[in-house]
Amino acid sequence: MLPGDLKASDFDRYPPKARQLAAKHIDLLRRMPLAFLPLLLREVIAYDWKFPVEQTELDKQFAWLAAMPASDFEKAMGPFAQLRLSAKLEHVDWINSPGEFSEQLTAHLWATRQIDAFRAASIAYIHNLNAANPEQPPTTPRLGIAVIGYGVDQNKYPLFRKLRPHGVYFHNVDPENGLATLLNHVAERAREHPVPFGHWYIDGSENQAMRGDGVTKMCYAALGSVRNALIDKMRRVMQPGGGGPEVLRTMLAELRPEDLGLNGEGNAAVLNRFQVSVLTEGSGTQLFSTTFVQWSAREALRRAQPATLLLRFTPRLHEQSMRELLAGTPQTPMPDPHGSLVDADMGAYYTWINQQRLTGAERAAFLVWFEGHNEALAIGPLLPRGTDNPNPVNLRQILAQMG
């Protein structure tokens, strides 16, 4: 099937809001090339469970495309239309399984050495879209906080090396009540600037108690049964006769929160979808808590664009060496605090990079603290770059300096 053949009834299996959106823009969809349309439909089909910011962005994208003169539209779609696709791709059910189409398109583009052309076309398209629809900065400057190193008593690893050129390195921080100070600060921001999915707290273990309910919370421990159910499903597919990697990919793409025991309505359903996507799309998120926190943060920033994000990295499980695996005696999984500190240090850096990709980056601030210790690094518009601060200070004072 080709885009020009689309009918409104083709979207009957879409969720209600997604169906409505597709039907409203069906004339536009018919004009899009096959190398582009299913990728847009991949967003449309998930519309009902998207964060508010994402829904607004998708609405704006449709409005922008619909308002384009025909010649501009052809120009925008031209690089995608010029890609050579196979007949096999036309036979994929790209309306109802746009994710599967996307996987096959990617493989085809790599195999035919068109991936660079596709990449260039995508970058140009997004650039033009953003230029035509400048995003509004957040009502309050963004703040990212990463708490790293729980469980590490002594550390020789040089922390914050990649972030130091961008901010102030504090190495005389009073750690007393540090975590409580940060939790309270996040809760306070959520009270002052209430926005659905605008303030997040993600923990590698369990969410710590926090006053108020304006913060979206998720944690690795609470998803234990979901992770186990998922791993069980994955194992079954990968066993002989289970279907193999292609079936696994399709199975993961089609998993619903309810299939993994996550039930909920309204905002809870949206968060459940997000959590399942973290576990099914993120490599390593099912096995390592540090990866879970970093990937969740990346996705939360990319999709929900929160004003506040608090991460707490805790020790992931120790990766057993071959020697240990062959030792012959079943071992209780042990945590790896030192390895996790290194992972989290990099995770904090990546979180800062991802935060800086959002609007209002010039006003945004970022804090990373070595939990229970006297090292922290703060970045913000009011703070100098690449400096050391040896003076006694607590986290409340650092937050105040960050503005």
Q: Is 316 in the site for other proteins (CB under 8 A)?
A: yes
Q: Which amino acid appears at position 209 of this protein?
A: A
Shortest gap between Cβ of 261 and other proteins (angstroms)? 19
Binding test (CB under 8 A) with other proteins, winner from 86, 112, 139, 172: 112
The bridge status of strand 199-203 relative to strand 393-394 is unpaired
Minimum CB distance to other proteins, residue 279 (Å):
12
Query: With binding defined as CB under 8 A, does residue 342 bind other proteins?
Result: yes
Q: Is 129 in the site for other proteins (CB under 8 A)?
A: no
Radius of gyration of the chain (CA): 23
> Residues, the chain, total?
403
Kindly state the smallest distance separating residue 350's Cβ from other proteins, in Å: 6
Q: How far is the CB of 177 from other proteins (least distance, A)?
A: 29
User: Under a CB-based contact definition with an 8 Å cutoff, are residues 204 and 312 in contact?
Assistant: yes
Beta-carbon count within 10 A of 225 CB: 11
Give kind and range of the element (H or E) at residue 145.
strand 143-148
The binder of other proteins chosen from 322, 332, 333, 362 (CB under 8 A): 322
Q: How far is the CB of 244 from other proteins (least distance, A)?
A: 8
User: Using the rule CB under 8 A, is 290 a contact of other proteins?
Assistant: yes
Residue 294 in contact with other proteins, rule: CB under 8 A: yes
Burial-class residue 139 by CB neighbours within 10 Å (0-12, 13-18, 19+).
exposed
> Facing residues of 394 across strands?
174
Q: Which of 9, 71, 321, 332 binds other proteins (CB under 8 A)?
A: 321
The answer for residues whose C-beta is within 8 angstroms of residue 323's C-beta and 6 or more apart is none
Query: Reduced to 3 states, what is the DSSP secondary structure of residue 201?
Result: strand
Nearest to 263 by CA among 249, 247, 251, 275: 275
Of residues 9, 88, 325, 384, which one binds other proteins by CB under 8 A?
Answer: 325
What minimum distance in Å lies between the beta carbon of 134 and other proteins? 17
Q: Which residues are near other proteins by CB under 8 A?
A: 107, 110-113, 115-116, 119, 161, 231, 234-235, 238, 240, 245, 248, 282-288, 290-291, 294-295, 298, 316, 319-323, 325-328, 336, 338-340, 342-343, 345-347, 349-350, 353, 357
